[in-house]
Amino acid sequence: MKIRLAAALLLVMAACTPKAADVPVLTPQEQIAADPYKAGGVYFRGKGYSYANLDGKTAAGNELRPLTPAPKGYKPFHISHYGRHGARYIIDPKTNDRSVNPMRAALADSALTPYGVSLAERMLAHYATSQHREGDLTRLGWRQHQDFAREMYREYPAIFKHDPKIEAYATQVQRCIMSMDAFCTALTAIDPHLDIYQETSRINLDNLNPHANENPLRQGGTAVAGRYTRVNPWGGTWPQFIDSILDYKAILARIFKDPDWIATYREPRWFVASDLFNFVLNAQDSDSGIDMMDVFTPEELYKVWQSDNYMYWMENGPVNDRDLPLVENYVKFVDEALENYASDGRPSVFLRFGHDSALLYFLTCLDVDGMGQMPSSAAEIENIWQNYRVPMGATLNTVFYCPVHGKYFADDVLVKMTLCGEEVKLASVPGEGPYYRWSDVRNHLIEVIESYN
């Protein structure tokens, strides 16, 4: 019986998977040209890239395609969710001050060009709205997770209307706790009968953000060296990569009468590629409404994103294992959810609220749309792996399906993944997607885990 079901499943999946029309995929440079805010990478606020999809666009700038219906005879019964916290202010006071203090001093010292004066005034005005809020969730971030919850409920009523077991876990970081609260509050507003257990504890960090210093179970990992000095697989460093692509001195010359003036306060390269980049690109996530994007030309904006993307790949791409426990726990908890459903037939939802780095690493291990493939050079990273795929509030849903009728068998379970509301493919898993056998996905993840161990 089990063999016959498995064979029938292959026919069902082949028959029910529609042939999507060929949609041109824009290059990263084209995507950033179409939406300059995407150059912020993980700062990207996600317009057109969230569940809401208010402008009908996908991450690649294409028209949003409707979700593929489940194969005939299958129903969803479990959702495993990982949500990055929503939009936030710049991460910490040190980063905030390091960006603004030199500009304040230059303004007082009459060291700025007319354009530099305009930029400094805008930076100081934005700083006034974000000071003492560093790392906090913004109002946009709260709204994002409320929208995501409403969309999840709308997409999977078969789960939510059948008394699901719902558990939600967040890291101890305030913005993650608030994101969890926004999400769960929105769900219970739709259906007051939902019973949602919420928890935040450092004991859960192996399943949320394994490399966090607070994690009592923290392991080492291969990405513990400093980001400035870490050598990539091709023998280069981040400073060398920046120098090869970005003329940061030209940017400084537009701001300061003497481009060397900044060296008194900060190494010029890092003022541009780190301080200025972080401050200017993070502003899109607040409610200040102040725009400073004109400090970079379109070409420079693309170049500073390349630099930022390189750094994130070095920390969260396939060259390290610092967040491997997240993958191990994902397999463990999915196995438990499947066993529980086979036992009691009760659907379930497992919600996690964490951070960009952990989600980027998870996508890499899953090989979502080829993100786990190894580039041939540092310059090739951007064509395989883009950090703006995890914008503020990014959400990965893995939804599990089983036959509506007949005896339940684990080998018959299908899984579909959506990233920010858009279906994704798993490059290292058999099948064309978006529906895959869970056994095949599980085998791939076990291979990834064993390759590191």
pTM across the whole model: 0.91
Q: Rounded to whole angstroms, how far apart are CA atoms 260 and 83? A: 43
Q: Rounded to whole angstroms, how far apart are CA atoms 230 and 360? A: 19
What pLDDT is recorded for position 336?
97
What pLDDT is recorded for position 1?
32
What pLDDT is recorded for position 408?
64
Q: Are the C-beta atoms of residues 158 and 140 closer than 8 Å to each other?
A: no
Q: Tell me the two tokens of residue 416.
A: 């579909």
What pLDDT is recorded for position 57?
45
What pLDDT is recorded for position 222?
66
What pLDDT is recorded for position 8?
39
Residue stretches of the chain with pLDDT short of 50: 1-23, 48-62
Q: Rounded to whole angstroms, how far apart are CA atoms 62 and 44? A: 17
DSSP string, 244-289: HH--HHHHHHHHBSSGGGGGGTS-HHHIIIIIIHHHHHHGGGSSS-
What pLDDT is recorded for position 343?
92
What pLDDT is recorded for position 9?
41
Q: Are the C-beta atoms of residues 234 and 223 closer than 8 Å to each other?
A: no
What pLDDT is recorded for position 13?
43
